[in-house]
A and B are shown apart, each in its own frame.
Chain A
C-alpha cells in the first residue's frame, strides 16, 4: 500500500468522524428547541411525548392567560426601552472612548465592560443590596435600569469595534470642508456606524427579553417578566402551555434579529440598486 493511499484513507476517516461529531452537536443544540415547538401543538394534557393529536388549544389558552399576557407586555416594553437607551448611551460612550483623549480613559474603558464579566447573579444581588441600603423600593424603573446596565457593555463593545475601523480622515475631511462637529457626526460618523447601531439594538433587545437570573432579583413584587413567569409556572406543573409560550419566546428572540437583519440588508440592497440604475446613461 502506498503512502498516498494511507493518507487518503486516514483523511476519509477523519472526515467521517468530523461529520458524525458535527451532526451530534447540532442534534444536541436543536433537539430541545424542536421538541418544544412540536410539543406546543400537542393535544395531550401533559407537556411531554407522546403526541396525541395536533391542536392549537394551548396557544388559545395562553391568549386568555392574564398573567402571561401581562408578563409578555412587561418584557416587551422593558426590552424596547433598554435597547433604545442602551444604544444611545453606548454610542456616545464608544465615540468618547475611541475619538477623544482624556484622563482616566483606560480605566473608564475597562470599567464600562465590567458588568459583562461579573456573574449576573452577583450583579443582581449587588444592585438589590444597594437599593435596600439606601432604602429605595424595588420598582419597574430599577428593573429597567438593571437591564440597561446589563446590556450597555455589549453595545459599547460593538460600536467601539466598528468605530475603530472608521478612518478618522473621513471626519477630518468633513471638518476641513466646513462642517461643524455636530454636522460631521450626523452626516459622516453616524451613517458609517449604522450596522453597529442596528446590531446593538437587536442584541440589547434580545439580552433584555431573555434575562432571567438578574430579573428574578430586581422585579418589584407582583411583576413578572416572561422568563420569570415561565419559571413560576414550572413550579406548579409542566403544563403544555409552557411549550406554547416557549415557542412564542423563540419566535420573538430569534425572529427579531432575523427580521432586523433582513431589513438592514434590504435597505442597503435597495440603495445599491437605485444607485446602479442612476448610473446607466
Chain B
C-alpha cells in the first residue's frame, strides 16, 4: 500500500489545502503564515491553511497545541502577531469580531442564561436588521432543524446539556454565517449524547452546506466527522489529510502515535533490496518490512505497527517477536495486551481465540511485513 502514488498532499511537509478545492473558486477561509505569540510564548508558529467552501475541517491535537488559538484568531478573539487571515477572500485581520460574520459554538454552550431560547436563537438576526416577522419564521425553522421545535419560551437552564448545545448550534447558523467555528462542542456532554451529536452536527453541516471548522482533541470525533483533518502539535501543523490519510499514512511519528497509539519500534536497517528491508530492532529481534523505496544499510528507522495489526494468535506468518504479557484488558470480542519484548512494551489489540491470554503468559506478537509504516531518523514517514 505504500506505493509512490500516495506521495501527494499527505506527505508534503507543508501542504496548504484542506477540503476539495478542485471545484475552484476562492477558499472560504485562508490562513497565511500565521504566528501568534503570547508575550514570549509562541502559541502558533508558521500556520498556513486554506479551507474550501462547504468542507468540514477538524483541527486535532493535544491540549496546548494551538488549535483553539487558531480558531479564536479566526473569530477575532485573539490577535495574530504576523500573517493574514481571509474569510471568503476578504482580509479580516483588522475587522472586529462582530463584523466578521462567523458562527461560534463553545464547549460550555454559552447560551445567554437570562434570555429565552427564542431570544437566544434570534440574537444574531436582530443585529442584522431582519424584519420581525421573518425572524419568527427563521427561528421556527432553525429549531426544527436541531429537532427542538416548540422550545422557544424555555430558559437555557430548563434544557439538558445536549439540548443546550443544539440551541447553541441553531443560534450560530441561523444568520447563515460564512463559516461555523466549533470549539470542542462535544466535550462537556456525556458519552452517549456525544455520539448522537456527532451525527447530528455532521448532518446539519451537510444540509446547510456551511463551511465548518471543528476543534477537538478526540481522534474518534475527528476521524468520524471530518472531510479533512489538520493534526497539530506544539503550535505547528504536523499533517493535513483526509481521515484515512492521517490514519493510514501518518506523516510523522507524532501523528502515528496521536491517532491510534501506534507501537514505535526503533532499529537499524541491516539488509535492503528494492522491495523491502530487514531491520534490526533495538529490542533485539530482526524484522522484515516492506519499504516504499530502497533503503540503505545502516539507516536508522522506526517501525510503526498499529495495535490492531499486532497479532498474538498462533500460526501467523511474518515477523514474530517473543515476549511476555504484562497486562491484559478483556474487551469482549477482543483484548488489549501489553507485551514486554526484551524491555520495551508494545500494545496489541487482538481477537480472542478460545481463552484470553493472562498476565505472565509467554507469547509471540506477530505482524506482516506490509502491515507497518517506516519513519526515517527525523521521524518523517518514508514514502
* Neighbouring A residues of B116 by C-beta, 8 Å: 275
| B351 beta carbon closer than 8 Å to chain A | no
Surface stretch bound by B, among A177-185, A203-211, A237-245: A177-185
* Interface pair A178/B154, CB less than 8 Å apart: no
Given contacts A177-B123, A179-B127, A180-B98, contact A192 B113 (CB under 8 A): yes
* Neighbouring A residues of B77 by C-beta, 8 Å: 172, 175
| B104 beta carbon closer than 8 Å to chain A | yes
* Interface pair A188/B112, CB less than 8 Å apart: yes
Given contacts A180-B98, A275-B153, contact A172 B127 (CB under 8 A): no
Query: Per-residue 0/1 for B33-74: is the Cβ within 8 Å of any A Cβ (1 yes, 0 no)?
Result: 000000000000000000000000000000000000000000
Query: Per-residue 0/1 for B85-112: is the Cβ within 8 Å of any A Cβ (1 yes, 0 no)?
Result: 0000000000011111111101010111
A275 to B116: give the CA distance in the assembly, Å: 9
* Neighbouring A residues of B155 by C-beta, 8 Å: 275
* Interface pair B106/A173, CB less than 8 Å apart: yes
| A191 beta carbon closer than 8 Å to chain B | yes
* Interface pair B102/A176, CB less than 8 Å apart: yes
* Interface pair B114/A176, CB less than 8 Å apart: no
* Neighbouring A residues of B175 by C-beta, 8 Å: 177-178
- How near does chain A come to B220, taking the closest CB pair, in angstroms? 25
Name A194's closest neighbour in chain B (CB-CB): B114
Interface residues of B in 99-151 (CB under 8 A from A): 99-104, 106, 108, 110-114, 116, 123-124, 127-128, 150
- How near does chain A come to B139, taking the closest CB pair, in angstroms? 13
- How near does chain B come to A88, taking the closest CB pair, in angstroms? 21
A279 to B77: give the CA distance in the assembly, Å: 36
* Neighbouring B residues of A179 by C-beta, 8 Å: 98, 123, 127
Name B174's closest neighbour in chain A (CB-CB): A177
Q: Which residue, B98, B113, B155, has most C-beta atoms of chain A within 10 A?
A: B98
A172 to B112: give the CA distance in the assembly, Å: 11
Q: Which residue, B108, B111, B114, B171, has most C-beta atoms of chain A within 10 A?
A: B114
* Neighbouring B residues of A191 by C-beta, 8 Å: 114
A278 to B104: give the CA distance in the assembly, Å: 29
Identify B154's interface contact among A174, A187, A279, CB under 8 A: A279
* Neighbouring A residues of B127 by C-beta, 8 Å: 177-179, 183
* Interface pair A279/B153, CB less than 8 Å apart: yes
- How near does chain A come to B163, taking the closest CB pair, in angstroms? 14
| B289 beta carbon closer than 8 Å to chain A | no
* Neighbouring B residues of A275 by C-beta, 8 Å: 116, 153-155
Q: Which residue, B123, B128, B158, B171, has most C-beta atoms of chain A within 10 A?
A: B123
A281 to B154: give the CA distance in the assembly, Å: 12
| A17 beta carbon closer than 8 Å to chain B | no
A187 to B175: give the CA distance in the assembly, Å: 19
* Interface pair A176/B128, CB less than 8 Å apart: no
| B212 beta carbon closer than 8 Å to chain A | no
* Interface pair B104/A173, CB less than 8 Å apart: yes
* Interface pair A173/B113, CB less than 8 Å apart: no
* Neighbouring B residues of A169 by C-beta, 8 Å: 106, 108, 110
A240 to B84: give the CA distance in the assembly, Å: 79
* Interface pair A173/B97, CB less than 8 Å apart: no
| B75 beta carbon closer than 8 Å to chain A | yes
* Interface pair B171/A177, CB less than 8 Å apart: yes
* Neighbouring B residues of A177 by C-beta, 8 Å: 98, 104, 123-124, 127, 171-172, 175
- How near does chain A come to B73, taking the closest CB pair, in angstroms? 13
* Neighbouring A residues of B98 by C-beta, 8 Å: 175-181, 184
A188 to B101: give the CA distance in the assembly, Å: 19
* Neighbouring B residues of A176 by C-beta, 8 Å: 75, 97-98, 100, 102-104, 172
* 3 closest residue pairs by CB, A with B: A178-B127, A177-B124, A176-B104
Please, could you name 13 A-B residue pairs with CB atoms under 8 Å apart, sorted by A?
A: A170-B112, A172-B75, A173-B104, A174-B123, A176-B75, A176-B104, A177-B98, A177-B104, A179-B127, A180-B96, A192-B114, A275-B116, A279-B154
Besides A167-B108, A169-B106, 12 other CB < 8 A contacts? A169-B108, A172-B77, A172-B110, A173-B111, A174-B112, A176-B75, A177-B104, A179-B123, A180-B96, A187-B112, A279-B153, A279-B154
